[in-house]
Amino acid sequence: MSKTQEKKQKKAKAFQNDLAHVKSSEALERRRQRFGHISPESSPTRSRDNSPASAENPTGPVVGTCQKLEKNYFRLTSAPKPEEVRPVPILEEMFALLRKKWKTEHKYSYACDQFKSLRQDLTVQHVKTEFTVRVYEAHARIALEIGDLGEYNQCQTQLRSLYKMGLNGRRDEFTAYRILYFIYTCSRTDMNDVLADLTTAEKRMESVSHALQVRAALASGNYMKFFRLYQATPYLGAYLLDMIVSRERLAALSTICRSYKPDISLDSVVEWLAFQGEDEDPDAGSRNCIQFICDHGGEHLIERKDDGRVRFATGKAGMVFETAKQAAFRTVDIKGQK
C-alpha cells in the first residue's frame, strides 16, 4: 500500500470517529431534553429557542410587581407572572394585616388561604429570610390551634430546612413540636432522625427538654408522669398532646386494670389521668372520667359503695381497655406527613 493510500485511510477513519462523536453528543443532548436534565455546565440564560430565559422555561426567581395586599391562593399550572406576584414589602404588609385579622376574626379558611398565597409568593421569588421563617411559624401555629395537621406538617417541613440554613426563629419551640408530632404519629424512624439532629444545647432548652421527657415517660409506661407533663406543656404543645391523650388514657386504664384489683377509687383515676380539667366545678373531673370509661364500654365498671364512694371495678374489666387501646393506636391519622 502506497503512502498516499495510507494517508487517505487515516483521514477517513478520523472523519468516522468525529462523526460518531457528534452523533453520540446529539443523542446525549436529546436524552437530556427528554428527561429534563440540565447539566451544571449548561448556560443559565439559554432556552430551547436560543433566547433569554422564556416564561415557559424560567431559570431564576420571579421579581413580583403586584401591589395588592390580599390575594387568593391558586395552585400554579404555569410559570408565574411578575404582575401577579407581590414583592416582599407588600408581603410584609399583608402578613401584619393577616395576623391582626386572625386575632379579631379567627376565620381559619380565610387565614389559611392567605397564608398559602403568602408562602407561594415567597417561594416563586426564592425568598428565604427570617421573614420567611416568621410566615411559616405563624401559619404552623394557627394550623395547630385548629387541628389542621396537613398544613401544620407542610410548614414544619419547610421550617426544618430554613433553620438548617442558619436563619433565626423559634427553633426551640418548633423542635419540641416536631418531637411531639412524631410521638403522635408513632413514627420511630422520624423520631430517631430528630433525636440524632439534636445538639446538647437544644436538649437543655425548656420546651425541647419537656418534649423529651414526654417521650421518655411514654416509652417507660410511666403514665402518671406523662399526665403531669401534659398539664405543664409550654407554648402550643398541648394541642398536639390533646391528640394522643385519649389513647394514652386507654393505655393507662389497661395498665391500671392489670395492676389494681379488685377495684380502685375513681378519685385516684381522675387525678392520675388528669380528668380534672380547668372547670371550677369540683365534680367535673369525676363526670369526665365516668363519661370516658362509659364511652369505651366500661359502664358496668363504675360502682357506688354503701359509704357513698365511687369505685372503678378493675377486676371486672377483662380485655375492655386493652382492646380499646389497640384500636386507638391502629387509627393514627398522619395526613400531610413528610
Q: Which residues contact 310 (CB under 8 A, 6 or more apart)?
A: 265, 266, 267, 286, 290, 302, 303, 304
CA atoms within 13 A on the CB side of 255: 15
How far is residue 265's CA from residue 243's CA, in Å, rounded to a whole number? 27
Q: Which of 258, 248, 234 is nearest to 314 (CA)?
A: 258
Banded model confidence at residue 99, pLDDT cuts 50, 70, 90: very high
Mean pLDDT score, 99-120: 95
Q: What is the CATH classification number for the domain harbouring 128? A: 1.25.40
Mean pLDDT score, 119-145: 96
Residue with cell 379567627: 106
Q: What is the pTM of this model?
A: 0.76
**Can you give the pLDDT at residue 227?**
96
* Residue 283 maps to a domain: no
Residues counted in the chain: 338
Question: Which set of grid coordinates corresponds to residue 124?
Answer: 416563586
Residue with cell 410521638: 183
Residue with cell 416568621: 134
**Can you give the pLDDT at residue 80?**
87
Phi-psi region for residue 106, left (φ > 0), alpha (ψ -120 to 50) or beta?
left
* Residue 282 maps to a domain: no
Domain count, the chain: 1
- Tell me the pLDDT tens digit for each residue of 209-257: 999 999 999 999 999 999 999 999 999 999 999 999 999 999 999 999 9
- Tell me the pLDDT tens digit for each residue of 122-131: 999 999 999 9
The partner residues of 265 in beta bridges, in order of sequence, read 311
- Tell me the pLDDT tens digit for each residue of 9-64: 555 555 455 445 444 445 444 444 433 333 333 333 333 333 334 344 455 788 98
* Residue 111 maps to a domain: yes
* Residue 228 maps to a domain: no
* Residue 296 maps to a domain: no
Q: Which residues contact 47 (CB under 8 A, 6 or more apart)?
A: 53, 54, 56, 57, 59
Domain that holds residue 156: 61-169
* Residue 65 maps to a domain: yes
**Can you give the pLDDT at residue 12?**
54
Q: Which of 158, 168, 63, 73 is nearest to 114 (CA)?
A: 73
* Residue 100 maps to a domain: yes
How far is residue 4's CA from residue 23's CA, in Å, rounded to a whole number? 29
* Residue 240 maps to a domain: no
Given a contact cutoff of 8 angstroms between Cβ atoms, the answer to whether 185 and 332 are in contact is: yes
